Amino acid sequence: MCAVATVDPGLRARHDALVRDVQAHAYRYYVLDDPTVSDAEYDALYRELVALEQAHPELVHPGSPTQRVGDQPRGDLVKYERPARMFSLDNAYSADDLRAFDERVRRGLREGERFAYVAEPKLDGASIEIVYEVAGSRATLTMVSTRGDGKVGELVTENVRTIKSLPLVLELAPEIGEKVDRLTLRGEVVIHRKDLDAINADREKNGEEPFANPRNAAAGSLRMLDPRVVARRPLRVSLYQLVEGPKLHGTHAESLEWIATVGLPTHRRQVICASIDDVLSAIGDFDRARGGYPFETDGVVVKIDEYRQQSILGETAKFPRWAIAYKFAAERVVTEVRGVQVQVGRTGALTPVADLSPVLLAGTTVSRASLHNFDRVTSFDVRVGDFVEIEKAGEIIPQVIRVLHDRRPECTTPTPVPTECPECGTQVVRAGEEVALRCPNRRCPAVVRAALHYYSRRFAMDIDHLGPSLIDQLVQSKLVSDVADLYDLTVEQLVELERMAKKSASNVVAQITGSKQRPFDRLLTALGIPQIGQVAARQLAEEIPSLEALLELGAEGAARAAGSIHGFGPAMVDAIRAWIADDDNRAVLEKLRARGVSVPYQRARVSLEGPLVGKSFCVTGVLSRKREEVHEDIRAAGGEVHDAVKSGTTYLVAGEKVGQTKLDAARKKGVQVIDENGLMAMLGKPPVGQTSLV
Ligand SMILES: [Zn+2]
């Protein structure tokens, strides 16, 4: 940096020392999980660094821990063609595959030549390549790319800079700094299991799909466009290969040691093996231990340790010949079926679930597994008393893979396919080609529970404090049998329920009463009419602005009105007609009207001169405000709102925790992705709250 010369050397030294200390403590905390200072002491050091930089901005350099989070979202990810290809590895699925690999290695080396393998857990995340530029004894993180197709990846430097366990600068020994210009390393970005649980709990609370596994969560986070959002994700990195650097050592294992000594994160679980038999036994150890690792592993990477021998073996067109990835079989265990339960969902669909003797599978105790539908129950012939093999698909939801018919005890009976709903006794139906059996009873307790839950969601009527266990009690005690009954609840009735204090009862009643003031489009959403999401509900409310108007029009009138709406196809129109024509639904609507629910929808002032005229937006993810309010602002400024990303959409406004599918769809359709502040800027409004750097 050219400014260096003008800086007071004493201040520079103090700054360097603070940067080093903050980084060292972060390493002990995030990598070694063994902090030597308290959080408060760490915070004090960090604050001192921030204060020093504020007083002397000339001290700030990109390697300072205060500079982790950039403040500009990007329009798109930039492609990067790397000088050396980032190979993926050939896979092995059995001991035979590994022995065949060992044979090939032997043939590639001189006859009788001694060599060693290194076996290390294969982390299940997203692969990256990291470059540090070296100047003097300091190495500065300058570039991070995804694997992509191996040759061409995408630059994700800004995002990876937010990972606190990764130093932005390294202090190298002077003799090393003199020898190399850059360090190139490869590794994996991962999310720990417990962190994923927290992310998913949050997503479900916000009505978003949970990530299926830590890998999806890591890969999705890595490619997000706004580093400020990435900074809030609990990403970690583990480096597993030194590609370019000081030729201090002749082996991979020694290089990993060196990587750790300069403060870079590695997982430190590698095992040196003298033979393929040792490798097999190490794999067995890893397989037994991996349930206890904080991260997901899907296999073991086996590499030739010595670099000289690696280069003799070289690569095929696709894979290096000196390494292979052994993949664990999806873990399966055998256990006994104790019963088959039937669950009923919001649409009335019946799902069979096997009750199992508790058994340990991939690190968790499993006592239930899905049987998906009754066609499968019949074709598997699963019976109570049977032994079944279960598997964790993507290590998340266990399912029954097969029945061990030869272990079937005597006197079992076939599992009956229900003809009646287990919750309400109504005869079940199978509509057309559908696999699922359904309970057609709209007053079925299970269906009512699910409908109440949907009705109270944030994007619908937004009734706080109406959780699953309260809904359960309300339905069971027959206080509530449809959504309109909520408005008849009294504090006195609620305090009769289990675990309900007077204060919380009053809260619940106040929340329910408050929801009467939601505009009609929110009520339309909350009713859960098939095919009608938030945006369609709003469009419908533009034509039919109140509950009174809807009741007056009736099914045919409403269908006609819906048919005139741009973008409403026949399926949507039919769904609306059928829903309103249903006597039960109509009765609920009448009850809601009698209780004064929902105020008429106020047509947004459609501005033809706003800054967003001619532009359309799809809003997704978690924003600083309710999504509905953001829609409001867009429309007030003349913009159009789309429910999903379509080819005509101009912008995808991506909030926090945005799903990768949405981003992919946007990219595919050439829709520009912006964040909330990008939108605020277009609206001519000040940016929303800044992300904390700590
Ligand atoms: Zn039922």
Residue 543 and residue 476 share a domain: no
The last residue of one of the domains, among 517, 545, 566, is: 517
Q: How many CB atoms lie within 10 A of CB 197?
A: 12
- For residue 602, is pLDDT > 60? yes
User: Would you say residue 49 lies in a domain?
Assistant: yes
Measure 517 CA to ligand 1 centroid, in angstroms: 32
Give the range of the structural domain holding residue 268, as residue numbers without chain letter.
91-327
Q: Is residue 689 part of a domain?
A: no
Instruction: Provide the pLDDT for residue 689.
Output: 59
> Are residues 307 and 365 both part of a single domain?
no
565 and 578 fall within a common domain = yes
Q: Which residue has the tokens 């001619």?
A: 614
User: In Å, how far are 26, 262, 514 from 517, measured between CA atoms?
Assistant: 49, 61, 6
**How would DSSP label each residue in 259-308?**
HHHTT-------EEESSHHHHHHHHHHHHHHGGGSSS-EEEEEEEESBHH
Kindly state the average pLDDT of the residues 664-682: 81
What confidence tens digit (pLDDT) does each residue in 498-520 have? 778 888 899 999 999 999 999 99
Ligand 1 centroid to Cα of residue 426, in Å, is 6
Query: What is the total count of domains within the chain?
Result: 6
Whether the Cβ atoms of residue 607 and residue 636 lie closer than 8 Å to each other = yes
Q: What's the CATH code of the domain at 6?
A: 1.10.287.610
Strands (E), 90-146: 91-92, 117-123, 126-135, 138-146
| Averaged pLDDT score across all residues of the chain | 86
* 267, 279: one domain: yes
pLDDT of residue 217: 85
Residue 298 CA to ligand 1 centre (angstroms): 41
Assess if residue 607 is contained within a domain: no
- DSSP states of 618-629 as a string? EEESB-SS-HHH
Identify the pLDDT of residue 397.
Answer: 67
Domain membership flag for residue 86:
no
Query: Residue 691 has what pLDDT?
Result: 37
The total number of residues written for the chain in this structure: 694
Q: What is the pTM of this model?
A: 0.52
What's the mean pLDDT in 250-274?
A: 89
Residue 222 CA to its chain's centroid (Å)? 11
Taking the C-alpha atoms of residue 460 and residue 520, their distance in angstroms, rounded to an integer, is: 10
pLDDT at res. 395: 45
In the beta sheet, which residues pair with residue 402?
389
Q: In this predicted structure, what is the pLDDT of residue 107?
A: 93
Do 33 and 268 touch, CB atoms closer than 8 A?
A: no
Do 203 and 284 fall within a single domain?
yes
Name the band, by pLDDT with cuts 50, 70 and 90, for residue 393.
Answer: low
420 Cα to the center of ligand 1, angstroms: 8
Mean pLDDT for 619-625 is: 84
Position 3 pLDDT exceeds 50: no
- Are 145 and 156 in contact by the 8 Å Cβ rule? The answer is yes
Give yes or no: residues 184 and 262 share one domain. yes
CA dihedral of residues 613, 615, 620, 622 (deg, nearest 10): -40
Cα(436) to ligand 1 centroid in Å equals: 14
Cα maximum dimension of the chain? 91
Q: Which of 188-202, 377-391, 598-612, 671-685 has the highest mean pLDDT?
A: 377-391
Cβ(582)–Cβ(530) under 8 Å? Answer: no
Query: How far, in Å, from the CA of 430 to the mean position of ligand 1?
Result: 14
Q: Please say if the pLDDT value at position 301 is more than 90.
A: yes
Q: Say if residue 634's pLDDT is above 80.
A: yes
Q: Are 165 and 236 in contact (CB under 8 A)?
A: yes
Residues 308 and 239 in one domain: yes
- pLDDT value at residue 274: 93
Give me the CATH number covering residue 562. Answer: 1.10.150.20
In a domain, 693, yes or no: no
Question: Among 534, 559, 594, which residue terminates a domain?
Answer: 594
CA 259 → CA 44, 452, 506, 676, distances in Å? 28, 55, 59, 39
**Domain CATH number, residue 645:** 3.40.50.10190
Considering only 23-32, 453-462, 604-613, which range has the smallest mean pLDDT? 604-613
> What pLDDT is attached to residue 66?
85
Phi, psi of 116 (to 5 degrees): -130, 150
Asked if residue 105 has pLDDT above 50, the reply is: yes
Tell me the C-alpha to C-alpha distance, in Å, between residue 73 and each of 26, 337, 636, 672. 26, 52, 25, 12
In a domain, 611, yes or no: no
Q: What is the pLDDT of residue 606?
A: 55
On whether residue 563 sits in a domain, the answer given is yes
pLDDT of residue 267: 76
Most confident of the ranges 176-185, 275-284, 398-407, 607-616: 275-284
Q: Are residues 529 and 558 in the same domain?
A: yes
Domain annotation covers residue 609:
no
What separation in Å is there between the alpha carbon of 332 and the centre of ligand 1? 34
Residue 82: predicted pLDDT: 83
User: How far apart (Å, rounded) are the C-alpha atoms in residues 98 and 95?
Assistant: 5
Strands (E), 623-681: 640-641, 651-654, 672-674
User: Around 358, how many Cα atoms within 13 Å sit in the side-chain half-sphere?
Assistant: 3
pLDDT: which is higher, 67 or 307: 307
Reduce the DSSP state of residue 634 to 3 states and report it. Answer: helix
Give yes or no: residues 433 and 510 share one domain: no
Closest CA to 521 of 549, 479, 498: 549
What number is the average pLDDT over the span 228-240? 88
Between the CA of 472 and the centroid of ligand 1 the distance, in Å, is 15
Task: Look at residue 693 in the predicted model and tell me its pLDDT.
Answer: 31
Do 374 and 513 sit in the same domain of this protein? no
| Ligand 1 centroid to residue 96 C-alpha, Å | 53
Q: Which residues contact 519 (CB under 8 A, 6 or more apart)?
A: 541, 598, 599, 600, 601, 602
CA–centroid distance, 238 to ligand 1, in Å, is 50
> Separation of 555 CA from ligand 1 center, angstroms?
25
Among residues 458, 490, 517, the one where a domain terminates is 517
**Does residue 660 have a pLDDT over 80?**
no
CA of 425 to the centre of ligand 1 (A): 6
- How does pLDDT run across 364-373, given as a tens digit for each residue? 678 888 888 8
Q: What is the Å distance from ligand 1's center to 441 Cα?
A: 6
Residue 413's pLDDT is 93
Q: State the CB neighbour count (10 A cutoff) for residue 692.
A: 9
DSSP-assigned beta bridge partners for residue 81: 152
User: Is 127 in the same domain as 211?
Assistant: yes
Tell whether 212 and 158 lie within a shared domain.
yes
Q: Which residues are the active-site residues? A: 122
